[in-house]
Amino acid sequence: MADNGETKVKRADLIFGEGDAIESAYMLKSGHVSLFVERNGKKIEIQKIHSPHILGIEALLVDTKFTVSAEAINAVSFIKIPIEVLRSQLEKAPPGIKVLIKSQTEDLKTMKAAFRSKKLEEDTSPIPETFIPRVFGSISLTAKHLGLNLFELKKEEGKMETPFESSKKQDQKVSPYEGEESIKVSWSAMKLYTTRFFMASPKRIEFALKILTKMKLAEMIYVMNDENQQELKEIIIHQLGTLEAFADFYQYHLFRGARATLLKVDNRALEIATAFVSCSDESEADFRGLTTLKHSDVVNEVKKKFKFDFNMDHLNLLESKGLFARKQNKSGEISVSFDRIEFEKTTRFWSYIKEINGLNELGYVKITEDAVEEPNADTESNCPECESSIEGHQKFCSNCGHKVAA
């Protein structure tokens, strides 16, 4: 409710959200406000403030976004002042005042960022978002410097085996990601070095390894100890370069000032991007690095795998997440062009983030997903009105016109 430029909100009303562009400063006239960030469905309070106070002045010097959300603790009234108005007033101020305000604004921005980081580090989630780059980066770097090449180890083991043992090992199923980059490393060594060099919690490292194991990017080898209990002895990690790239990707977007869009996993966007990648396995990129697919192929792949109809809104959704696909019509044939390498990398990283979010919500890694029974479009049933035979994909009965329940 606004009255003479003054806006009034009730308890629990959201004043602005994390990631919103700062277009106005908020001058509190009365009430108390909670500044917080939301991670994995849980609110982490950064600070409580009360009137008189002004929020958003960090945008005085440069366009930026809110790094927190603001929620009314009780009845709150405030006045919104456009940032451009404040900037024009600042430009008219005497040089000394101008330097003082700019200096204080920079200091305030730095202190707010440090305080926010400290609060986020107190998050008790298994792997809080501020620790994700540290945890996955430390696993990659430690394995790279301490681990032994799995390919070379297997070659050495092969020299000591009989032909029968070698042929038996070849029949054993290995990870689809196993290759010349795969590394075997001692768990005791990894635990020691990730703690000493990166101050990473061994429990968080173990959680991350379980996620990688679920995604077949790692293998955790257990042995029976003296107390007849299973104990983690060694880890095999595949595609170390991808793991390091993920840590770099996450830290880059995390510390850009506000929570980056790319780090917020949208399940629908993930499904669409996955369909683009899967139906372009055998397609070659042109000289610009773009892969072109028939629009109908994408529609069929999405329908087959994820059971929904692909349309233009889905391309807009991908664009809002930073993935661009260009739809074009040439000689009556509609095609879609996209950067397959970028799509493949992003879908892989989104899959990692989705698993981490699941871990933080549940408190453990869910190794097997619950089976979801997919509807069969060809299944026949009867119309509840006239009992005529209808197929699963029909929305209306062809005999009496009765609407069939979805």
Whether residue 52 is preceded by a cis peptide bond, meaning omega within 30 degrees of 0, is yes
My answer on whether 9 and 100 are in the same domain is yes
pTM for the model: 0.67
Length reported for the chain: 406
Structural contact between residues 195 and 134, judged by C-beta atoms closer than 8 angstroms: no
Q: Which of 207, 225, 250 is the last residue of a domain?
A: 250
Query: What are the E-state strand segments in 176-274?
Result: 183-186, 218-224, 230-237
My answer on whether 181 and 112 are in the same domain is no
Q: How far apart are CA 399 and CA 84, in angstroms?
A: 65
pLDDT attached to residue 202: 93
pLDDT attached to residue 45: 85
Q: How far apart are CA 161 and CA 157, in angstroms?
A: 7
My answer on whether 276 and 239 are in the same domain is no
Residue 154 domain flag: yes
pLDDT attached to residue 374: 47
My answer on whether 101 and 147 are in the same domain is no
My answer on whether 284 and 392 are in the same domain is no
My answer on whether 6 and 115 are in the same domain is yes
My answer on whether 117 and 134 are in the same domain is no
Q: How far apart are CA 253 and CA 243, in angstroms?
A: 16
Residue 370 domain flag: no
What is the layout of strands, in order, in the sheet containing 53-55? 2-3, 6-9, 76-82, 24-30, 53-55
Q: Which of 345, 358, 367 is nearest to 127 (CA)?
A: 358
Residue 80 domain flag: yes
Structural contact between residues 271 and 305, judged by C-beta atoms closer than 8 angstroms: yes
* pLDDT mean values, one per 10 residues, the chain (406 residues): 76 89 92 86 83 87 85 93 90 87 82 76 80 94 92 73 50 70 93 93 94 93 88 93 93 74 88 91 87 89 87 88 88 88 94 93 80 45 54 59 54
Q: How many domains does the chain have?
A: 4
pLDDT attached to residue 172: 53
Domain extent for 398? 375-406
Residues 6+ apart with CB under 8 A from 225: 231
List the CATH number of the domain containing 181.
Answer: 1.10.10.10
Residue 78 domain flag: yes
My answer on whether 134 and 244 are in the same domain is yes
My answer on whether 97 and 141 are in the same domain is no
My answer on whether 101 and 141 are in the same domain is no
**Separation of CA 93 from chain center:** 44
Q: Which amino acid is at 185?
A: V
Q: What are phi and psi of 384, to 5 degrees?
A: -70, -15
My answer on whether 345 and 390 are in the same domain is no
- 328 sits in which H/E element: strand 325-330
List the CATH number of the domain containing 75.
Answer: 2.60.120.10
Burial 92-117 (b: 16+ CB within 10 A, else e): eeeeeeeeebeeebeeebeebeeebe
Residue 196 domain flag: yes
